[in-house]
Amino acid sequence: MLTQLKIEKITSDLLKPIRLTKSFLIWMGFLGASLLVCLFAYFLQLRDGMVVTGLGDYVSWGMYISNFVFFVATSLIGMLISAVLSLSGQKWATPLARIAEIIALAFAAVAGLVIIMDMGRPERLLNVFIHGRIQSPIVWDVTVVTIYVLVSTLFLYIPLIPDLKICSEKLEKLPPFARNLYKFLSLNWNNTIEQKKLIKDSTRVLAIFIIPIALAIHTVTSWLFANTSRAGWDSTIFGPYFVSGAFVSGCAAVIIAMYFFQKNYKLQDYITDFHFNKIGQLLALVSLVYLYFNLNEYMVPGYKMKLAEAKHLKELFSGSHALLFWSTQLLGLIIPIILLLFKKMRKSGPLLIIAAFVLIGSWFKRYIIVFPTMEHPFLPIQNVPLNFKIYTPTLVEILVTIAPMILVLIIITILSKIIPIIPIHETIEQLEELEENKK
Amino acid sequence: MLKNKLNTRLFVTFSLATLLILNCFSATWDVPADQKEKKSYIKFDKQTSSQGEVLYNANCASCHGNPGKNNILKSLNPIPPDLSGKSSQALSDGDLQYILNTGRGLMPNFKNVISAEDQWKVISYLRGFNPNYVQELSKFDPNKSKLVKLTAKFDSKANILTVMALADEKSGKIPIIKAEIAVFVKRYFGNMQIEKTVLTDNFGKAQVVFPKDLPGNKTGDLEVLVKLFDENYGEVQTTNKLAIGVPTDKPALNEKRAIWNVLAKAPIWTLSLYLLGVFAFILLLLYLLNNLRKLYNSKTI
């Protein structure tokens, strides 16, 4: 009896955020308006061409490509939390799985757009499909990003099916078309044993396969760099270096999302200090792994100081990029690791601030990986104006870079308004299991 | 001691002065008198000028910039002059052609790169920037070069190419005497000259010794270019395919499957890994969709 009551409370608690509120409309209005401004900047880029950016012959990869890497990176968190942790029996991550999946899907889907925004002639994207060569990492990247978006959609959708049924039955004041859509998408879910087994099997298979797919997407992204012979990129550990860095930015993104969902959607009973503590530990762990790869990545070329590498590393360590480099490494990685060792810092408030620093640091880390290398080619740059040699992003470029970020926020906000962001069905199942064990 | 120092100083000053003076001298070109007088046999007009512009943009603009546009490659030493400028335009047509054919320091020599006719077209283009220029045509009749018969015979024992240069004049075949003969072999990127340029003898004959180890194609063929240059008969060239090289059967870099090749020649390993990955994904997708189908239908059971 008590269990039944609890189940009803869970259902109503978790369904509550699914309705239009004033704050939601204001937030969306703000996002929409900002997006329009950024899209105007993109319109300028389309109309006038890439001259409106700071990109050129020498630095042809700048903010946009850094943004792309950042987006692909952050999207990897879905794999870590929903697949790796759940397969290894880490039950605490269950309520976070859907948040991670939403983040994964939003970032992965938008990553594809970011690449198109980097193209002066986006209609030529078709050429990748018409003339693409299977030998080119670009083609691999297009392939795996598409696959990852599809698989992430299924990974979000399949465990959601029971919840969709609950939505169609329990949500009040729903327009009929929405109710029908929920019903249609819930695929005749009836909670039968056979259906449960189908969902369980599918989720498990997905959880297993999403691991190599996610590894592939970010490893291939790293190969876009490592497969070219250039100072700062010509590295054999770029794959794991990127993947470990991806978990760092993804964890930070999940923490920030957790914080806002907990506060705005009144989920204090479901996302607790326990969860913040756990994910804080996870962030510390992945950051330490990332730090280890950083050490390798800079120590090995830094010891040998080969000609071009030396020039590149000197600019990073003590030259014109030093401020950016050290603040990113210290504020975005090293200081957060130290802080995260303390339990007090793994409470929701401090953790939010740490995660914000880590996330911003992750973005700048990609920026540092991408453009300084472009400024240091093997053949010296001669007889060109200074602004060809030194990359400075323009306002238009910055706005176009912000556009996808806004888009991600819009996608996450909308998804969190139409599906329960804490899995209802699984929470109830866990509760029932708990009660079962008590008896 | 003091004297010594003074001496050194004097010496340095003197050397610097000499260098400076030499530098000034080197800005002029010592063009032999007969070359100076040379004139184009092509009439400079709009057409030759626009043909010349294409050649100029391809061969000269990278250093000399576009005439009058002040976009010269200033990091070179000496700085290449703007060829539409006063001092360059003060050079005679013959001077200009001589400079093109000899080069100096960083100014490349275009003798075997741009044919005489095309050189005149470049000059025609440059003259278009000089309103005071009035062309004087040379008396040379380009039709004369049509009379030239160039034959090349190879003596494989002695590895000597014998070139005969005869002119089909009305009075009969006469040897072309003291004409320049240059022999080239076609390579991947341009022509390679064999030996030096030689002059024909009184019988119109010239000989060039070939190296024995020139790589040819699969059957050992070499494409041999014979160029004649003569004051009276102009520039004539013939191409002969001679089986005198070492047969070499190196597949071209784009013949086999390779990473850098076209899609149809992708390496098997890349192809199979890629297709395997995509295939595995399709299997996964089919499995999941089938599960969803079963889920949808299971209500009725």
pLDDT in tens, B193-211: 999 999 999 999 999 999 9
Q: Give the pair of three-digit tokens for residue B206.
A: 């010239």
pLDDT at B1 over 60: no
- What DSSP character marks residue B252? P
**CA distance readout (Å), B11 to A121, B22, B25, B191:** 64, 16, 21, 47
pLDDT at B140 over 90: no
> Predicted confidence band at A220 (pLDDT cuts at 50, 70, 90)?
very high
Domain of A102 in residue numbering reads as 4-438
pLDDT at A374 over 70: yes
> Predicted confidence band at B21 (pLDDT cuts at 50, 70, 90)?
very low
Closest chain A C-alpha to B285 CA, distance in angstroms? 8
CB contact under 8 A, B301 and A194: yes
Q: Residue B209: helix, strand or coil by DSSP?
A: strand
* pLDDT score recorded for residue B3: 52
Mean pLDDT across the stretch A320-347?
96
pLDDT at B186 over 70: yes
CB contact under 8 A, B75 and A382: yes
> Predicted confidence band at B7 (pLDDT cuts at 50, 70, 90)?
low
Mean pLDDT across the stretch B12-26?
49
Q: Is A161 left (phi over 0), alpha (psi -120 to 50) or beta?
A: alpha
- Find the CB nearest A133 among B262, B284, B291: B262
pLDDT at A6 over 50: yes
> Predicted confidence band at A371 (pLDDT cuts at 50, 70, 90)?
very high
* pLDDT score recorded for residue A286: 97
pLDDT at A17 over 70: yes
- % of residues, chain A, pLDDT over 90: 80
pTM of this prediction? 0.77
Mean pLDDT across the stretch B28-42?
89
- % of residues, chain B, pLDDT over 90: 61
CB B116 within 8 A of CB B98: no
Q: Which of B295, B297, B298 to mutate to test the interface with A (most CBs of A within 10 A)?
A: B295
Mean of all residue pLDDT scores within chain A: 93
> Predicted confidence band at B116 (pLDDT cuts at 50, 70, 90)?
confident
Q: Assess whether the region B28-127 and the region B143-242 belong to the same CATH fold.
A: no
- Tokens 């700071």 sit at which residue? A54
Closest by Cα among A334, A335, A297, A333 to A316: A297
> Predicted confidence band at B24 (pLDDT cuts at 50, 70, 90)?
very low
CB contact under 8 A, A383 and B74: yes
> Predicted confidence band at B10 (pLDDT cuts at 50, 70, 90)?
low
Give the whole-angstrom CA distance, residue A250 versus residue B24. Answer: 67
Nearest chain B residue (CA) to A207: B284
Q: What is the ipTM of this complex?
A: 0.91
Residues of B in contact with A134 (CB under 8 A): 263, 266, 270-271, 274
Domain count, chain A: 1
Mean pLDDT across the stretch A273-277?
95
Domain ranges of chain B: 28-127, 143-242, 263-297
* pLDDT score recorded for residue A48: 94
* pLDDT score recorded for residue A77: 94
- For B28-127, CATH gives 1.10.760.10
Least trusted range by pLDDT, from A60-69, A273-282, A403-412, B30-39: B30-39
Residues of A in contact with B288 (CB under 8 A): 154, 158, 202, 205-206
> Predicted confidence band at B300 (pLDDT cuts at 50, 70, 90)?
low
Maximum distance among all Cα pairs of chain B, rounded to whole angstroms? 117
Give the whole-angstrom CA distance, residue A103 versus residue A105. Answer: 6
Give the whole-angstrom CA distance, residue A361 versus residue A369. Answer: 12
> Predicted confidence band at B235 (pLDDT cuts at 50, 70, 90)?
confident
> Predicted confidence band at B26 (pLDDT cuts at 50, 70, 90)?
very low
* pLDDT score recorded for residue A320: 93
CB A427 within 8 A of CB A270: yes
Residue B195 is inside which H or E element, if any? Answer: strand B190-199
- % of residues, chain B, pLDDT over 70: 90
In chain A, helix, strand, coil percent, each to 5?
80, 0, 20
CB A62 within 8 A of CB A374: yes
Give the whole-angstrom CA distance, residue B234 versus residue B143. Answer: 9
pLDDT at A314 over 80: yes
Least trusted range by pLDDT, from A5-14, A68-77, B22-31, B129-138: B22-31
* pLDDT score recorded for residue B74: 87
Q: How many CB atoms lie within 10 A of CB A90?
A: 13
Structure-model confidence comparison of residues A385 and B264, the more confident one: B264
Fold (CATH) for B143-242: Immunoglobulin-like (2.60.40)
Q: Give the pair of three-digit tokens for residue B32.
A: 């032999």
Q: What CATH number does residue A252 fall under?
A: 1.20.1630.10
CB contact under 8 A, B277 and A194: no
* pLDDT score recorded for residue B12: 54
Nearest chain A residue (CA) to B262: A133
DSSP tally for chain B: helices H, then strands E: 8, 8
* pLDDT score recorded for residue B25: 43
* pLDDT score recorded for residue A384: 81
* pLDDT score recorded for residue B9: 60
Mean pLDDT across the stretch A173-182?
91
- Find the CB nearest A187 among B277, B287, B296: B296
Q: What is the DSSP string of B146-187?
A: GGEEEEEEEETTTTEEEEEEEEEETTEEEEPPS-EEEEEEEE
Mean pLDDT across the stretch B105-116?
88
Closest chain A C-alpha to B256 CA, distance in angstroms? 14
SS (H, E, C) A371-395: HHHHHCCCCCCCCCCHHHHCCCCCH
Residue at B194: amino acid letter? I
pLDDT at A324 over 70: yes
CB A404 within 8 A of CB A118: no
